[in-house]
Structure 1
Amino acid sequence: MTPAVLAELVHSTATSVLTERGVDTAVLPEVVTIERPRNPEHGDYATNLALQVAKKAGMAPRDLATALAERLAEAEGIEAAEVAGPGFLNLRLAADAQGEVIRQVLTAGETYGTGHALDGVSINLEFVSANPTGPIHLGGTRWAAVGDALGRILGAQGAKVTREYYFNDAGAQIDRFVSSLVAAANGEPAPEDGYAGDYVADIANQVLAAEPDALGLPDAERDEVFRRVGVQLMFDEIKRSLHEFGTDFDVFFHEDSLHTSGAVDAALERLKKSDTVYHADGAWWIRSTDFGDDKDRVVIKSDGAPAYIAGDIAYLKDKRERGFDLCLYMLGADHHGYIGRLKAAAAALGDDPDVVEVLIGQMVNLVSDGKPVRMSKRAGTVVTLEDLVEAVGVDAARYELCRYSVDSPVDIDLDLLRKHTNENPVFYVQYAHARLASLQRNAADLGLATPGPDEIDFGLLDHPKEGELIRTLGEFGAVIAKAAELREPHRVARYLEELASAYHKFYDVARVLPQGDDEADGLTYARLALCEAARQVIANGLSLLGVSAPERM
């Protein structure tokens, strides 16, 4: 019995109890909250339902809890129901009812834990979107890991997710990048406001290899060659590094296309008809303060040229016209003001501001030997995605970046992530999976063919550590649902560590395979099934984070 099934049982029981007492069942919440007590001695699960609705029902909380306990104690799968404190209800499940979770995992396999909360919702998930003027830095790397994981988690709840990368290939930063390439091609230092690092020289040399006569052209034509070829080479390198990191995109959208296609001009004309923009001091302004921005923003400058936000508005309009129900942006720590601006943009376009959602990610720092790592071997000024992967590998990098809330800064200890010990979180979880896979191989070597889940007596799994492991498995679906709802992939990582811990504790006290001349019995097969269920859930969770589940380590 999963927490969700138990919640339905408690809800139906409460409905019956209140109906018999002539109480309107509308006082009940739509979903009953079921939690695991911190102290296992208090039971397997607990609910505060009686405390929550007693006053509305005109009953004392303990009286309602007692009525619920008496009725639930008679229900199939409930071993005991007890009232605690002012009206908490503690529940203990029968072993065979708990074992139903194992049966569900083994039956569902790779789909166990998925849900339908977002069925039919089309989401545009834009993340990374780093300027195409250099390699992906650590902030972008964090979004590459977290954004990809969030896309998987939203998809696991039924959403249709389009992963999108917005290339900022228009504006002054591209001009500075081109100037830097030309300087490098001429063997000169980068301009004062340009880009430095070995990668600039590498790309400049590739431009010359493709266009040997570029430096001999008039300045304007020369710059256009370096712009066209150099920016594309940078694009290609960014895409390659992201792909090797396990992060791929469905759409690469070019900012420049909004200007060349007339989309920006069309959006601006539409805005002029909206009450959310106004004309002052010769310019057009958007009322972004109505949506939390610190000041209203200029959209059309006094000289008639569009401001940078104009492209953002045209881009949002384009997304909505492509049919997305939700436009989810994942932006860096220095973009907090964009929350109000983008919501104001939606309102200005006649949309519900809630079609826009913005996640802000905080900074990432690397630490080695107790000291900050500040310089890249290749980029010169920042640490890059490739630097992190070279130091610890893709799996460790992705997992570590995903296991923290994005609104918290992160210090990544490179020395810790290189360790093959339980101190290293990704090793701890992956080792649990490898250990479980090894157990199944050993069982096969012994000729033990585990029966189908419907043929196993899970009521034999009555050890407290077995119960703890089963209950942890049963929470996986709720963890994914909450991670999707709150846009928090770190919940999956932390859950996997809890699951690995529950498995290791179980394995330390429960013999799974027979030893010596011992014969396999019903308990053997029940425990093998439990272990296979644990392996499956760890694999499913790691997959949501884009991290491998090795069978040998």
Structure 2
Amino acid sequence: MNELFENYNPRQAALSEARALLTQAAQAAMEAGALPAAELPAFIVEIPADTKNGDVASNLAMAGARTWHKAPKMIAEAITAHLPDLSGSCFEKVEVAGPGFINLFFAPSFWGKVVLAACSNPHYGRTNYGQGKKYNVEFVSANPTGPMHMGNARGGALGDCLAAVLDWAGYDVTREFYINDAGNQIQKFGKSLAIRYLQHYCGEEAYPLPKECYQGGDIKVLALEFADKKGDRYVAPCQGLAEDALYESEGFAALKDALVGYALPKNIAALKRDLGKYRIEYDVWFPESTLHESGAVQQVVDLLLEKGACYKAEDGAVMYRSAQYAEKYGTANKKKTDDGSEEQAKDEVLVRANGIPTYFAADIAYHYNKLATRGFDKAIDVWGADHHGHVARMKGAMDAIGLDGSRLDVVLMQMVNLMQDGQPVRMSKRTGNAITLTDLLEEVPIDSARFLFNMHDAGSGIDFDLDQAVKTDNDNPVYYVQYAHARICSILKKLESDGVVFGGEEGVNPALLTEPAEDELIRMLAAFPQEIVMAAEKYDPSRINRFVIDLAGAFHHFYGSCRIQGADPAVQQARLALCIGVKNIIHNVLTMFKINVPEKM
């Protein structure tokens, strides 16, 4: 690979060069007296949506109207008159348009460099924009008390693809799963298992399952497995006790602990197995229990007390001044009353009167661990939209503890509706229960699942069409993209069998690529690295899916419009370079998102 093209981002390079040229020209105009001496105003340099009037546009003249006390058009003309020689730059000419827009046009050498970069750099699209900043992306983090559901399928694809674009944009990314293996849900898990265990020996009438317990069939399965291994040794200490006395007894506590000790590792192993099947590998599996065992939760509570963000109530509970710190990030802590008015937000319990910390306390300690203890520059959490009220609380808590709440970002993800034959699907055909990630991956190819779940930005709801996901034609977007890659491989192989091979970028003359379909493809090649940067900046990896679908479409149009086989040899080599550039990008997108890249279909 030519080192010239490592981390090459054509659009960003062009924008930086345009800004430097315009800055130099404005300073020269002031030195020459064409403009009054003044501090240069803030101005925009951008790639316009419509490039007919220029490839790069700037509002410098309009932004400088107050600075230089002249009409924008006169300012623009003064600046363009003092531009340095453009030869050697990526621009060939500059024009003033309308009331004073300054439009710059790329030189043919710029487009040629794009083609050469895309065809010669197998990692084209990767940049150093993020400068190696440490980002933690935490996603899925499903409770280990049961199987993963459809929302986790979307969250898994979204979080993994977001981590991928951040990595390609030059950030140092850690993928993390937070294991909620402590607190109320584990107590509920143990209680549910224990009652199912006792039912196995004594019947459901003797030990009815309370409504607040987990009702899923997986709880029964785990309890029966435990009974097969351990027998009925835990039954006698629990017999003959009234319900309240049972739940407070040492025998029931021992049964719960034994069942959690057996079932929780099995469930966590199942989470790892199922996510691995979905091609998600985490760098860190972080157990909540370690925060309690290490004293980190208590340390955070003590620190908040020291800073005055908490106080002790009369009953001994530790209260957090939530509203005071959350207000900066929204009014999530305020609740609607029955009459529709807003109820004033109240202080929240961090440690109960009995000395047991709340989940919120552990959550603060966990994020403190990310940002302070482990020193991530940014913590990004992917949450379901039903957690929106927690965002301001958590960001405010980071401020309260002495960190910057803006270092925590939360991506809120809307729900998924599973559709088949135009109708919603809610139950598994196999079990009759809600559809799990495992059910989905038995029905849908993993390539389709990962691609289709990442087709829409997190804030949009998804209707996931099972019929579309299993199609092997152009109605399935991932198939359409994979087919474009396979088609290019087939073209290259056919030409090679005819004795035509790509001679390398040194022998390519990109100036021969003048057809409209070629121009469209080259513009898309130029845009790709910046698309990744934008996807990383906006936490929206779905824009890369949409980009690569458009790229595949542009390639199919090019192939139908521009002959490769039998073309003039020089034109043929230039078109081969273009094909290889497209092939590299499709390969990079699919591998980035852990989707298979077929060479024939």
2:524 paired residue number = 472
Q: What is the rounded CA distance, in whole Å, between the counterparts of 1:421 and 1:252 in structure 2?
A: 38
2:322 paired residue number = 288
Deviations 1:464-518 (A, max 9, x none): 111111111111111111111111111211211221222122122111222xxx7
Say if 2:349 is the partner of 1:298.
Answer: yes
1:161 paired residue number = 173
Q: What is the rounded CA distance, in whole Å, between the counterparts of 1:303 and 1:222 in structure 2?
A: 23
Using a 3 Å threshold, how does the CA distance of structure 1 residues 287 and 532 change in structure 2: closer, same or farther? Answer: same
Q: CA deviation at 1:36?
A: 4.2
Q: CA deviation at 1:447?
A: 2.1
Q: CA deviation at 1:119?
A: 1.9
1:178 paired residue number = 190
Aligned 1:427-446 pairs, distance under 5 A: 427-446=479-498
Task: Say which SS state the counterpart of residue 546 (structure 1) adopts.
Answer: coil
Question: Of 362, 383, 391, which aligns to 1:331?
Answer: 383
Q: What is the rounded CA distance, in whole Å, between the counterparts of 2:587 and 2:38 in structure 1?
A: 41
Q: What is the rounded CA distance, in whole Å, between the counterparts of 2:468 and 2:563 in structure 1?
A: 31
1:21 paired residue number = 29
1:87 paired residue number = 100
> Does structure 1 retain, via aligned residues, the 8 Å contact 2:492–2:501?
no
Say if 2:455 is the partner of 1:455.
Answer: no
Aligned 1:3-402 pairs, distance under 5 A: 3-22=11-30, 27=40, 29=42, 32-37=45-50, 41-66=52-77, 75=87, 78=91, 81-110=94-123, 112-185=124-197, 186-187=199-200, 191-212=210-231, 216=235, 218=237, 219-280=252-313, 282=315, 283-289=317-323, 290-291=325-326, 292=330, 293-294=332-333, 295=345, 296-319=347-370, 320-377=372-429, 380-402=432-454
1:417 paired residue number = 469
Q: TM-score normalised to the size of structure 2?
A: 0.84
Say if 2:500 is the partner of 1:481.
Answer: no
Q: CA deviation at 1:425?
A: 2.0
Using a 3 Å threshold, how does the CA distance of structure 1 residues 42 and 96 change in structure 2: closer, same or farther? Answer: same
Deviations 1:377-414 (A, max 9, x none): 46754322122222321111111111211122211122
Q: CA deviation at 1:347?
A: 2.1
> Does structure 1 retain, via aligned residues, the 8 Å contact 2:135–2:378?
yes
Q: CA deviation at 1:280?
A: 4.4
Deviations 1:134-171 (A, max 9, x none): 11112222111111111111122222222111111122
Q: What is the rounded CA distance, in whole Å, between the counterparts of 2:143 and 2:53 in structure 1?
A: 54
Using a 3 Å threshold, how does the CA distance of structure 1 residues 330 and 15 change in structure 2: closer, same or farther? Answer: same
Q: CA deviation at 1:224?
A: 2.2
Say if 2:521 is the partner of 1:513.
Answer: no
Counterpart of 2:573, as a letter, is Y
Task: Say which SS state the counterpart of residue 475 (structure 1) adopts.
Answer: helix
Counterpart of 1:306, as a letter, is P
Q: What is the rounded CA distance, in whole Å, between the counterparts of 2:91 and 2:573 in structure 1?
A: 24
Counterpart of 1:3, as a letter, is R
Q: CA deviation at 1:25?
A: 8.1
Using a 3 Å threshold, how does the CA distance of structure 1 residues 233 and 388 change in structure 2: closer, same or farther? Answer: same
Equivalenced residues, count? 546
Q: What is the rounded CA distance, in whole Å, between the counterparts of 1:357 and 1:101 in structure 2?
A: 34
Say if 2:594 is the partner of 1:546.
Answer: yes
Task: Say which SS state the counterpart of residue 121 (structure 2) adopts.
Answer: helix
Larger Cα Rg: Structure 1 or Structure 2?
2
Q: What is the rounded CA distance, in whole Å, between the counterparts of 1:270 and 1:67 in structure 2?
A: 59
Task: Say which SS state the counterpart of residue 350 (structure 2) adopts.
Answer: strand
Task: Say which SS state the counterpart of residue 411 (structure 1) adopts.
Answer: strand
Q: CA deviation at 1:96?
A: 4.2
Counterpart of 1:157, as a letter, is A
Once structures 1 and 2 are overlaid, which stretch shifts more, 240-249 or 293-302? Answer: 293-302
Using a 3 Å threshold, how does the CA distance of structure 1 residues 85 and 217 change in structure 2: closer, same or farther? Answer: farther
Unaligned runs of 5+ in 1: none
Deviations 1:33-67 (A, max 9, x none): 12341xx6445554444444454344433344456
Question: Of 532, 538, 548, which aligns to 2:580?
Answer: 532
Q: What is the rounded CA distance, in whole Å, between the counterparts of 2:110 and 2:405 in structure 1?
A: 46
1:2 paired residue number = 10
Counterpart of 1:13, as a letter, is L
Deviations 1:338-390 (A, max 9, x none): 21221232123221222222221111111111111112346754322122222
Task: Say which SS state the counterpart of residue 337 (structure 1) adopts.
Answer: helix
> Does structure 2 retain, via aligned residues, the 8 Å contact 1:346–1:352?
yes
> Does structure 1 retain, via aligned residues, the 8 Å contact 2:445–2:469?
no
Q: What is the rounded CA distance, in whole Å, between the counterparts of 2:501 and 2:43 in structure 1?
A: 43
Q: What is the rounded CA distance, in whole Å, between the counterparts of 2:93 and 2:451 in structure 1?
A: 40
Q: CA deviation at 1:206?
A: 3.8
Counterpart of 1:527, as a letter, is R
Q: What is the rounded CA distance, in whole Å, between the counterparts of 1:46 and 1:498 in structure 2?
A: 24
Q: CA deviation at 1:443?
A: 2.3
> Does structure 1 retain, via aligned residues, the 8 Å contact 2:76–2:100?
yes
Q: CA deviation at 1:192?
A: 2.7
Counterpart of 1:2, as a letter, is P
> Does structure 2 retain, via aligned residues, the 8 Å contact 1:126–1:164?
yes
Task: Say which SS state the counterpart of residue 412 (structure 1) adopts.
Answer: strand
Counterpart of 1:11, as a letter, is R
> Does structure 1 retain, via aligned residues, the 8 Å contact 2:119–2:578?
no
Unaligned runs of 5+ in 2: 1-8, 238-251, 334-344
> Does structure 1 retain, via aligned residues, the 8 Å contact 2:45–2:57?
no
Once structures 1 and 2 are overlaid, which stretch shifts more, 142-151 or 291-300? Answer: 291-300
Q: CA deviation at 1:532?
A: 0.5
> Does structure 2 retain, via aligned residues, the 8 Å contact 1:19–1:25?
no
Counterpart of 1:434, as a letter, is A
Q: CA deviation at 1:106?
A: 2.6
> Does structure 2 retain, via aligned residues, the 8 Å contact 1:27–1:57?
no
Using a 3 Å threshold, how does the CA distance of structure 1 residues 182 and 552 change in structure 2: closer, same or farther? Answer: farther
Counterpart of 1:4, as a letter, is Q
Task: Say which SS state the counterpart of residue 573 (structure 2) adopts.
Answer: helix
Q: CA deviation at 1:78?
A: 4.1
Using a 3 Å threshold, how does the CA distance of structure 1 residues 43 and 445 change in structure 2: closer, same or farther? Answer: farther
> Does structure 2 retain, via aligned residues, the 8 Å contact 1:208–1:214?
no
> Does structure 2 retain, via aligned residues, the 8 Å contact 1:183–1:191?
no
